[in-house]
Structure 1
Amino acid sequence: MRMTGTEGDAEGVTFRSRVRGCLLGGAIGDALGAPIEFDSLGVIRRNHGREGLTDLVHDWRGKVGLVTDDTQMTLFTVEGLIRAGVRQREKGIGGAEVDVVRNAYLRWLDTQEHQAPPAADDLVRTGRLREQTWLYSRRAPGNACLSGLRQKLGPLAGPGMPGPVNPGSKGCGTVMRSAPFGLAASDAPGAFRLAAECAQITHGHPTGYVAAGAFAAIVFYLSRGATMSEAVRETLGLIGDLPAHEETTAAVEAAVALAAEGRPSPEALETLGGAWVAEEALAIGVYCALVSEHDIERALLLSVNHSGDSDSTGSVCGNLLGARHGEAILPRSWSSRLEGRDTVVELADDLTDLVTGSGDPRPDRYPGN
């Protein structure tokens, strides 16, 4: 498999562009799918025509390009990873990434429970991202994400065992926020491990955290220059001997087989499930990215036009193809109307600077805990 460094590859795509592409692409897919998240395919076609949704549309608030909790939590994942990196660099303290990411999710929880930034009484509650008022909007967050963060996190589970929080939950909330682990990691096993551990902050079902880890590993390979088929093949090999991999492996293999048949359609996509659970969201995102790898607009529209969790599958597909091709592939007519675009780009660049050592994320912006 081809692997590249961070300076650019044979296609002229830099790592910075791939990180931007991954985060912006996920946000675009999220915004595309959000207005139709709870609609059946029949309702989507009745409201938008035989081809279904073909552009960003107004949501029930009359606004275009708004993101959901998928993008919100992804951004706080990025912030948590940067803060963990700054903590290690400034204080020489490493190994607490799960705790630091959980603290970031607690700051996200503030955005769901308050109308504006509440008073911060400690470093856990402070941070530049938390102060951005546009994030203070409840966008149909998953119940397990909310309830999990209100619980105390006990010791993490061993491989294949239920996690300490919501042990029966494998909702797609683990997958939709996990792309940043693949961008920040130094290798694929590390991406898998940290994503799987941080998934247990809110979801304890083994498939929920294995699927999150698999998604992060695919993103790792893509962001270092792999094709979709290469990234998926390497990831299946990575997880194939792990406990409790079976549901995730079966779902991804079904996506690969379906993509090989060609003739993509919403009806074909829906045979992979509704994406309300982690392995189905991953499979649908992988299927759309495989079957339309070089046409991100077509892939994203396919990923949202179905009777399931449209914003999450749009987000996963956008993360994958943005990491695969970089920022330049994203349709400008969509990215220009995206809520919070400047924030996404800023976080993407700060993460890139941290990973590559090409810049210096400021400790005052990212206090290390």
Structure 2
Amino acid sequence: MSTDKYTKIDKSRACLILGALGDALGAPVEFMKYNEIVAKYGDTPNIIKGIQMLDDAYGKKGAITDDTQMTLFAADGLISAFKRGAERGILGEYWGYTAISYAKWLETQSQGNPNYSDFDWGSHELFEVVKKQGQRGPGNTCVSSLKAMQKPAEPAKNDSKGCGTVMRVAPIGIFFGNLIKDTSKQELQKVYDEGVNDAAITHGHQTAQHASGILAVIVALVLHGESLEKAIRVALDDFGTQDVSGLCEKAVQLVNESPSVENLQKLGEGWVAEEALAIAIYCSLLGSKKVLSVEDSLRLAVNHDGDSDSTGAITGNLLGIEFGTKVIPQSLIGTDTEVSSLVELLRKYGEDLVEVADYRQS
């Protein structure tokens, strides 16, 4: 089981672009109940009720949230760290560098950590793009943890299991999935550990860390050519923990029934990591099995009582890594939306997450 570099790049690009699209689709309804969403957007004839197309959030049509912002900073931190190691011949732990990258993201939110304000780290272009966007509903746990961070490769001291871990971990799965030699359990353990480490930067609860590690493994397996269904099975069998696997197994079983918001809401609301992961597994598997279209899989992922942008983002990540750019729904992205204006940046980071493995100091 293997895919060539160009297929991996295509999958990686789609993972980030569809993740951003799911994020933007869910942004306007993130803090609404399902009945409020249906009341506002109408009881449409589509099988999925509620919001159907991108709408206004944060004063812009099709605006992304902190989910996509942090995903991009995760990607940038990994790429910058690899290049630093190639140039200097020495490299610390990767999660230390992504932690610094997240601290730079925090500065774009008009907050910041004085311990890292003088660091010249990462892409200035990305920093300016996100700084111009401003605050996009940053999660309290991410903000407080990054503000309090003394050393970059130390676990956060809190007991939060919020979904701020799984909503940003896709680049971890892509980057380390591309670096591993094969998809043996021994190699996948490296991906899992990096997903756990990344989560630990901001979230101290083991459930949030476990969910992040499992999602990173799923992404890595699909990057290598495994089907989404098989990747989920392998990740849960080899790395599943009781606190995460229960809901995820339930999600897999619910796919065998007719798709509905009622079934989705049996998995929770997505505010915590294991619920967000389970909801995304449910919605993306419906798309993978062609029960729903990619568009309707994303719509189902955001039309519910809970954390719509995060569940939309993760669902988009999974659909993108499986199908590649050929399924990106241009009609949903539009041409006059914020997410459409970010497509080239997302494509660039999707490509660089794979290409950087060949980087050599010139």
Superposition TM-score tier, normalisation by shorter sequence:
0.7 to 0.9
Structure 1 CA distance for aligned equivalents of residues 361 and 343 of structure 2: 21
Distance 1:178 1:207, change over 3 A: same
Secondary structure in 2 matching 1:131: helix
Name the amino acid aligned to 1:344.
L
**Cross-structure match for 1:246:** 242
Paired residues for 1:19-58 under 5 Å: 19-50=12-43, 51-58=49-56
Give the superposition deviation at 1:178: 0.2
Distance 1:135 1:289, change over 3 A: farther
Structure 2 CA distance for aligned equivalents of residues 167 and 213 of structure 1: 18
- Residue 287 of structure 1 pairs with residue 282 of structure 2: yes
Paired residues for 1:1-369 under 5 Å: 3-7=1-5, 14-50=7-43, 51-59=49-57, 61=59, 63-113=60-110, 121-124=118-121, 127-132=124-129, 135-152=132-149, 164-185=155-176, 186=180, 187-240=187-240, 245-260=241-256, 262-293=257-288, 294=290, 295-336=293-334, 337=337, 338=339, 339-355=341-357, 357=358, 360=359
Give the superposition deviation at 1:125: 7.3
Whether the 8 Å contact between 1:252 and 1:283 is mirrored in structure 2 is: yes
Name the amino acid aligned to 2:41.
H
Structure 2 CA distance for aligned equivalents of residues 126 and 324 of structure 1: 28
Give the superposition deviation at 1:126: 6.6
Give the superposition deviation at 1:154: 6.1
Structure 2 CA distance for aligned equivalents of residues 362 and 105 of structure 1: 25
**Root mean square deviation of aligned Cα:** 2.2
Name the amino acid aligned to 1:253.
E
- Relative to the length of structure 2, the TM-score reads 0.88
Give the superposition deviation at 1:135: 4.8
Whether the 8 Å contact between 1:24 and 1:335 is mirrored in structure 2 is: no
Deviation sequence 1:19-55 (CA, Å, 0-9, x none): 0000001000000000000110100110111221111
Distance 1:266 1:289, change over 3 A: same
Structure 2 CA distance for aligned equivalents of residues 77 and 224 of structure 1: 21
Name the amino acid aligned to 1:317.
T
Give the superposition deviation at 1:134: 5.6
Structure 1 CA distance for aligned equivalents of residues 349 and 312 of structure 2: 20
Secondary structure in 2 matching 1:255: helix
Unaligned runs of at least 5 residues, structure 1: 9-13, 157-162, 364-369
Distance 1:7 1:136, change over 3 A: closer
Whether the 8 Å contact between 2:165 and 2:208 is mirrored in structure 1 is: yes
Whether the 8 Å contact between 1:153 and 1:164 is mirrored in structure 2 is: no
**Cross-structure match for 2:184:** none
Unaligned runs of at least 5 residues, structure 2: 44-48, 181-186
The percentage of aligned residue pairs carrying the same residue is 39
Structure 2 CA distance for aligned equivalents of residues 78 and 135 of structure 1: 19
Structure 2 CA distance for aligned equivalents of residues 317 and 361 of structure 1: 34
Structure 2 CA distance for aligned equivalents of residues 65 and 94 of structure 1: 38
Give the superposition deviation at 1:153: 5.1
Structure 1 CA distance for aligned equivalents of residues 324 and 233 of structure 2: 21
Distance 1:165 1:56, change over 3 A: same
Give the superposition deviation at 1:341: 1.8
Give the superposition deviation at 1:138: 0.4
Give the superposition deviation at 1:361: 8.4
Whether the 8 Å contact between 2:75 and 2:171 is mirrored in structure 1 is: yes
Structure 2 CA distance for aligned equivalents of residues 132 and 60 of structure 1: 15
Structure 2 CA distance for aligned equivalents of residues 66 and 151 of structure 1: 28
Deviation sequence 1:303-344 (CA, Å, 0-9, x none): 001010000000000000100000111101233432422211
> Greater helix percent: which structure?
2
- Relative to the length of structure 1, the TM-score reads 0.86
Using the TM superposition, name which of 342-351 and 247-256 deviates more. 342-351
Whether the 8 Å contact between 2:75 and 2:349 is mirrored in structure 1 is: yes
Give the superposition deviation at 1:165: 1.6
Give the superposition deviation at 1:155: 9.4
**Cross-structure match for 2:183:** none
Whether the 8 Å contact between 1:300 and 1:317 is mirrored in structure 2 is: yes
Using the TM superposition, name which of 246-255 and 342-351 deviates more. 342-351
Name the amino acid aligned to 2:217.
A
Deviation sequence 1:258-300 (CA, Å, 0-9, x none): 112x211111101100100000000000000112214211110
Using the TM superposition, name which of 137-146 and 293-302 deviates more. 293-302
Structure 1 CA distance for aligned equivalents of residues 174 and 253 of structure 2: 27
Structure 2 CA distance for aligned equivalents of residues 16 and 45 of structure 1: 37
Number of matched pairs: 338
Give the superposition deviation at 1:91: 1.1
Give the superposition deviation at 1:133: 5.3
Whether the 8 Å contact between 2:77 and 2:122 is mirrored in structure 1 is: no
**Cross-structure match for 2:46:** none
Distance 1:47 1:125, change over 3 A: same
